[in-house]
Amino acid sequence: MAYELYYWPSIQGRGEFVRLALEAADVPYIDVARQPKGINIMLRLMEDGSMLAPPFAPPFLHADGLWIAQTANILMFLGARHGLAPSGEAGKLWANQLQLTMADFVTEIHDTHHPISSNLYYEEQMPEAKRRTKVFLEERAPKFLGYFERIFSRKGSSGWLAGAAMTYPDLSLFQIVSGLTYAFPNAMGRLLPAYPSVKQLHRQVEEIPRVAAYLSSPRRVPFCEEGIFRHYPELDLT
Amino acid sequence: MAYELYYWPSIQGRGEFVRLALEAADVPYIDVARQPKGINIMLRLMEDGSMLAPPFAPPFLHADGLWIAQTANILMFLGARHGLAPSGEAGKLWANQLQLTMADFVTEIHDTHHPISSNLYYEEQMPEAKRRTKVFLEERAPKFLGYFERIFSRKGSSGWLAGAAMTYPDLSLFQIVSGLTYAFPNAMGRLLPAYPSVKQLHRQVEEIPRVAAYLSSPRRVPFCEEGIFRHYPELDLT
């Protein structure tokens, strides 16, 4: 039976990290909330207290009778089952460690436009957003990107983050670089050349046939100003 | 050989979730940075590019030749090895899912006093902190606490979060409730009675002999205004 992915239908958001893994591993799945009336099914499930392993929020996955929520947790599961993770214990822990560091990065990216509350509109927290984004672009983005660059520059690096082949953290780093480039084209135009291996990883992932096919399909929701990566020109460098 | 925990020596911070697990499972460990010159050893390791599985930030653990960073990742490892996690795949995923939801909660708690940047002093972001804390106490804390309360209120609940016995997410929820009560005594005095099972879980964990012994030992760093949970009276309810 096909896996069922539950996520908000109109944004990439955190669900996109899961979609990328499902697509790259060629796993059959239904993007439930994007089917007719699917959003109602998702909302009903979230209100239904009887669910096994109830999620705090989407995304969540229904796979072989298991209900799994939290992006990094879903990816760990998919990675192990579908050839997107290293095989040994040390490699699995390392992949999860990388993914959790990216989860922290993603939260900081989101909070550039919502530093006070996700329940308020961006327009209600613009001065704070400008202040937070300035520090983010000057200090935090370089710190995270520099960290991943250093991993690639270690002796014997394969050009992938974890082991000799592509694993799910590579897909997530691709998504982060894509999203940052959408949100902050000016800042990333100046930043990214300092991280050539990160840039190269982005290109490598983009060229994987299954990923390329997905990105050009209607299954890929476009970036927009409702998700994590938002292009607000007033927040970008000039 | 004893495990080595690496974390900032003067705060509980995210390292405290790991300390609680090590103490509750009676695992011998060295809190390296709290030893003489230990902080230099930790900093040198973090700068040393040759480290296997280099951490983005503390805490990290050296255990049986493995280097493991990211709090939830360390806890997953310790849980499986030292009887602090459910045994089956579904249970392990559920424990990790709970822990990751708590990691999100902890980030939001931290950001109440640092909504703009961790690199600025609290005093440099007080108006923003007041605004963010107000929404946090009115909307986010009740949402997270309500989520955990609903888990306990499911049919057949054992009074522990994952399965029939205490597991590492219980220790983490204990720490969060302790920390919130330290940081926001007025707000928590009003909030907590609405979440009786969460309150009961806190009491249960506190009374576990190994946990109680740890909490009253000098190994427990006191709460203070340098960590995640900070008591700034102007942020609390009056």
* B3-6 and B60-63 beta bridge pairing: antiparallel
Q: What is the pLDDT of residues B137-147, one digit of tens each?
A: 999 999 999 99
Its ipTM equals 0.98
Write b or e for each residue in B183-205: b if 16 or more Cβ atoms lie within 10 A of its Cβ, otherwise e.
bbeebbeebbeebebbbebbeeb
- Does the pLDDT of residue B11 top 90, yes or no? yes
**A73 contacts in B (CB within 8 Å)?**
93, 96-97, 100
Look at residues A222, A221, A184, A235 and name the one whose alpha carbon lies nearest to residue A33.
A221
Other CB atoms closer than 10 Å to residue A27's CB: what's the count? 17
Average pLDDT of chain B is 97
Q: Given CB atoms, is A163 within the 8 Å cutoff of chain B?
A: no
Q: What residue ranges of chain A have pLDDT lower than 70?
A: 49
Q: Do B117 and A135 touch (CB under 8 A)?
A: yes
Q: Do B104 and A107 touch (CB under 8 A)?
A: yes
Q: What is the pLDDT of residues B175-188, one digit of tens each?
A: 999 999 999 999 99
B153 versus B200: which is more confidently predicted? B200
Q: Which residues, numbered 4 to 33 in chain B, qualify as contacts with chain A under a Cβ-Cβ cut-off of 8 Å? A: none
- Does the pLDDT of residue B49 top 80, yes or no? no
Q: Which residues, numbered 107 to 146 in chain A, qualify as contacts with chain B under a Cβ-Cβ cut-off of 8 Å? A: 107, 111, 115-117, 119-120, 128, 131-132, 135-136, 139-140, 144
Q: Do B115 and A132 touch (CB under 8 A)?
A: yes
Backbone φ/ψ region at A225: left (φ over 0), alpha (ψ -120 to 50), beta = alpha
Q: How confident is the model at residue B1 (pLDDT cuts 50, 70, 90)?
A: confident
Q: Count of A–B CB contacts within 8 Å?
A: 118
Q: Given CB atoms, is B40 within the 8 Å cutoff of chain A?
A: no
Q: Do B72 and A100 touch (CB under 8 A)?
A: yes
The distance of B20 to chain A (nearest Cα, Å) reads 20
Q: Do A49 and B135 touch (CB under 8 A)?
A: no
